[in-house]
A and B are shown apart, each in its own frame.
Chain A
Amino acid sequence: MVMMSTGAIRPDQVIAEATMPVLSVSGLTTSFLRERDWFPVVRNVSFDIAPRETVAIVGESGSGKSVTALSIMRLIPKESGRSDGRIMLCGRDLLTLPEASMKDIRGNDVAMIFQEPMTSLNPVLTIGFQIAETLIQHRGLSRAAAEAETVRLLDRVRIPAAKSRFHEHPHRFSGGMRQRVMIAMALACKPKLLIADEPTTALDVTIQAQVLELLKELQREEGMSILFITHDMGVVAEIADRTVVMYGGQAVELEATSRIFAAPSHPYTSALLAAVPRLGSMDGRPRPMRFPVVDKVTGTSDEPVETADTVSTAARPLLEVSNLTTRFPIRSGLFGKLSGRVHAVENVSFTLRAGETLALVGESGCGKSTTGRSILKLTEPDAGTVLIDGQDVLAMSGRTLRDFRKHMQIVFQDPFASLNPRMSVGAAIAAPLLANGLATASQARDTVADLLVRVGLTADMAARFPHEFSGGQRQRICIARALALGPKLIVADEAVSALDVSVKAQVVNLMLDLQASMGLAYLFISHDIAVVERMSHRVAVMYLGEIVEIGPRASVFGNPQHPYTKKLMAAVPVPDPTRRATKREVAYDEIRNPVRAPDYQPPTRQHREISPGHVVQVWGEEWSG
């Protein structure tokens, strides 16, 4: 078409124009000032992004991937950081531009979206204002024209009733919608390059699928290039044409995405890929399986085996939960009148055997964490019974309950927040022993040393403080603390969700080993279905406070029945570029919340047994169509 209309341009010129990269980064080194010395965080990184191409930078925390993105935007603080090398955007070297010209490029030629949709929008300005502002600044549009264009943009990112929502503030929008607002803002000036820094990491999996699909669609329409930063190989496989793998500040591999997955050349890439849980990889295996351990230097891997059968065959399950219901009142008005209830857990029943892992999966607000807390009586349930070894936990109180707690422990999601920074890890692990008067100080010291070794650390680490450890090590410490009292049941509330891929695999392996050696029962609460598939015997899918499907893991994932289970599984990104769907059907609906009127009567549910132990709730009209 170009050649037809402009005969004066020679074919080779057209080719040069078409293949000239939008962004060309060469020899980028970004250093930060730490105590008067410059420490390189990104070292000699080079890559190109062609027009309409999506390049992913993948790596774990601290690998320098976000710093690379911020260096391109020149958003590194001048006083403490500096970038060397060349960053060419359409033939202009960004690193040599004066700050004033850089301001014209930001948000105009290169736009950026961030990980945290909840905090990335200004809370006191309307979303319309925040989008229109960009148009007024860069395009010189009038207020009225900018408003009209903003409404059009909001429509394009599928914000319903865009015109009326223009004047609303960010707190009225859900996380997924805020990220779509961010996308609208980024695309306002039709940038040549969009930098997306972990844009879906904080979102639920069905919402992640929406945002990815939207980005792909907008890219097709606008013809922009995307630099996509992520730690999630599944997302990489889903979206990227080419992939840069970063490790320790260096780009260790740069290849077409399909080649990276098919034949990784760098040992680190092999290690990373081996640690990625893949939904569907466990077909036909009833028991959990360890992740393969790959040496990051040599690339050699051990052969993971299915774990031994750890599930107890005793007549009575360790944990029996029946008709558990937890509701939170919402009060408002002058006298705190009850205006509604959050039905966080609604009539939930299940059992868990010693040595067994039952996973509770579901999205934000489905009640999976509240279920875990209610069982441990950390939250007071409204109704139901919880039996551990036949003893009613909910009937206990005071001293009895405290004594009984040694049988049931919990590991939380955030290893940074769940350890007291002023307490040495040895003291933290020994605390439950000493508090319960179960050991003398010297006995506790021995137990701590033993536990640290068990979780893969060394005994001499007991004297150190939490800040001296990495996230993965801290989570090991939290597990050691939970093990200190010799519990039978451990509630793992998103215990591996905040960890990097390879660390996550190690902690999962550790938990499997401990289960085998100590016969622990895990209630594994997670939103990450691929990890759940790897490590659980049985699965319960929760939706709006209820278990909609429960059964042996192989049966539930191999033959999902409930529409929500199917929807959830379809939304999980598959870390295999060859299986990438060309266009996925994505419904732009929101995750519903379980807030009900005070007089709400939950419907009586019917259940159907699909195969032995695999039970599904009979669903109604709301799921048809």
Chain B
Amino acid sequence: MARYVLNRLAQAVMLLVIVSAIGFAILHLAPGGPLSQFAASAQMTQEDLDRVTRQLGLDRPLPIQYLDWLGRMLKGDWGKSYRDGDAVLSVISSHLGATLELMVTATIIAVLLGFWIGITGALRRYSLFDSLATVGAMIALSIPTFWFGLVTIYVFSVTLGWLPAGNRETVGDGSFLDLLHHLIAPAMVLALVETAMWGRFMRSSMLEVINQDYIRTARAKGMPDWRILTVHALRNALLPMITVAGLQFPALLGGALVAETVFTWPGMGRLFLDSIGYRDYPVVMGILMFSAIMVLIGSLIADMLYAVVDPRIRVG
């Protein structure tokens, strides 16, 4: 197992280098640069601009800049934000909490709701419930997150006035209830697509399991229905869900980016968009690397978990 993990980590490092190179290239290919903000200001002379360019090291050839950045990263130096000179890691960590709060809440909602819909749909296949769930999932999967977010704001914030239209807390309040009140809308919007996905995957997984011979064996043993469902069927049906979770993680990150933007949620997604706007290269690259590391760790954990939960698989 330890050897397997080491092997995977080595692969992950290589992947990260490739991701960073591509990200770095795309970022610098985009027109404009960190200095275009300053250039708009009348007080900045060409000399000032050249001086800043030299200070930031942006006058060097791109490959050199990349290697310089990579070398610092390998030493654990994530760099400093161009905007205010704060360390990239501390900028990220100050936004991480909000994003995690949103993602964890949405995932909990999506998993609970999705599993329930999926299992019920599988057990009562082709029932009215199953048909409605199927149609509902189709609709949820085809609605763009940003559009659903805007409609939510329009209906619940603008028209009904039940929920705040954005932000994480009311300025000056910040109590638990206030946080919760702000969390509802973005979490629901982010959870919608996730719920539909989990529901579909769980339904097909469950359908496959309940037609297996060992479920017939359990029935022939006279086991009660609830026990067949929880002990015999669910454990098998959940196995493929681990892989799904590993695959869903990047999608969840992407969804969070959109939801955060729509609801002006002060998380990493917002930070990412703002930083791109400012061409704040160190922060953008930092977030890119941070997300990539999270995704890789997520899939590694999923694979390891599989080996722990499924006795047939022993990685070695």
Contacts and interface: CB of A to CB of B under 8 A. Distances in A.
Given A75-B216, A333-B3, A334-B7, A123 B312 contact: yes
Interface in B219-246: 219-224, 227, 231-232, 235-236, 239
Given A133-B223, A332-B316, A122 B217 contact: yes
B221 A133 contact: yes
Contacts of B310: 123-124
Contacts of B3: 333-334
B85 interface: no
A108 interface: yes
A75 B219 contact: yes
Interface in A110-151: 111-112, 114, 116, 119-125, 133-134, 137-138
A124 B216 contact: no
A106 B214 contact: no
B221 A120 contact: no
B212 interface: yes
A255 B221 CA distance: 31
Q: How large is the interface on B (under 10, 10 to 19, 20 to 34, 35 or more residues)?
A: 20 to 34
B236 to A, nearest CB: 6
Nearest to B224: A103
Contacts of B18: none
Interface in B20-73: none
Interface in A314-339: 332-334
A104 interface: yes
B222 A108 contact: yes
Nearest to B316: A332
Contacts of A106: 219-222
A416 B145 CA distance: 46
Interface in B265-316: 309-312, 316
Contacts of A333: 3, 316
B311 A123 contact: yes
B225 to A, nearest CB: 9
A169 interface: yes
Contacts of A105: 222
A103 B316 CA distance: 42
Contacts of A124: 235-236, 239, 309-311
Interface in A174-189: 182, 185
A52 interface: no
Nearest to B6: A334
A256 to B, nearest CB: 29
B212 A119 contact: yes
Most buried by A among B3, B224, B311, B316: B311
B316 A122 contact: no
A73 interface: yes
B221 A185 contact: yes
A108 B224 CA distance: 13
Contacts of B7: 334
Contact of A75 (B220, B227, B309, B311): B220
Chain B interface main SS type: helix
B218 interface: yes
B84 interface: no
A112 B220 CA distance: 6
A171 interface: yes
B213 interface: yes
Contacts of A108: 222
Contacts of A171: 311-312
A125 B221 contact: no
A122 B214 contact: yes
A519 interface: no
A107 interface: yes
A227 to B, nearest CB: 13
A169 B311 contact: yes
Nearest to B7: A334
B220 A122 contact: no
B214 A119 contact: yes
A332 B220 CA distance: 40
Contacts of B223: 103, 107, 133, 137
A153 to B, nearest CB: 14
Contacts of A111: 220-221
Nearest to B310: A124
Contacts of B232: 122, 125
Nearest to B236: A124
A185 B220 CA distance: 11
B220 A121 contact: no
B231 A119 contact: no
Contacts of B309: 124
A385 to B, nearest CB: 39
Interface string A586-602: 00000000000000000
A103 B222 contact: yes
Nearest to A104: B222
B222 A121 contact: no
A120 B217 contact: yes
Contact of B312 (A114, A169, A185): A169
Nearest to B225: A103
Given A104-B222, A124-B235, A125-B235, A114 B217 contact: yes
B312 A116 contact: no
Most buried by A among B213, B219, B220, B310: B220
Contacts of B224: 103, 137
A334 to B, nearest CB: 5
16 contacts: A75-B220, A103-B223, A106-B219, A106-B220, A106-B222, A107-B220, A112-B220, A114-B220, A119-B212, A120-B214, A120-B217, A122-B232, A134-B221, A137-B224, A171-B312, A185-B221
10 pairs of A and B residues whose beta carbons are closest in the complex: A106-B222, A107-B221, A107-B222, A169-B311, A119-B213, A122-B214, A112-B220, A120-B213, A103-B222, A171-B312
Interface of B: 3, 7, 212-214, 216-224, 227, 231-232, 235-236, 239, 309-312, 316
Given A112-B220, A123-B312, 7 more contacts: A106-B222, A108-B222, A111-B220, A114-B213, A119-B214, A122-B236, A125-B232
